[in-house]
Amino acid sequence: MMTKNFEEKDRFHGWAPDIETWPESWMRAEIDLDYGHQFLPYFKEALQSLCDVRTGTENIWAIAGKPLAARRNNR
């Protein structure tokens, strides 16, 4: 079972479940593999940032949407 901390920290895995294999897919020469593994943490951070923005946007939408829906229903 995944902990909440893991889910929050690595939500991008839903978008990129194969991210750990990306360095191999970029490799054209043996030296590329080391560079690919060095870049990977930056890509993970960028993907996580995108997940955080998306979740934040969805939360803001929900906060505004609920009172507006309630207002519509009370007319």
CB atoms within 10 A of CB 32: 13
pLDDT, tens digit, 9 for 90 and up, residues 36-59? 999 999 988 888 888 877 777 777
Task: Supply the Cα-derived Rg of the chain in whole angstroms.
Answer: 19
Q: Residues in the chain, how many? A: 75
More confident residue, 33 or 73: 33
- Average pLDDT, whole number, for the chain? 78
Q: Answer whether residue 35 shows pLDDT above 70.
A: yes
13 pLDDT band (50/70/90 cuts)? confident
**Strand stretches in 1-75, DSSP E:** none
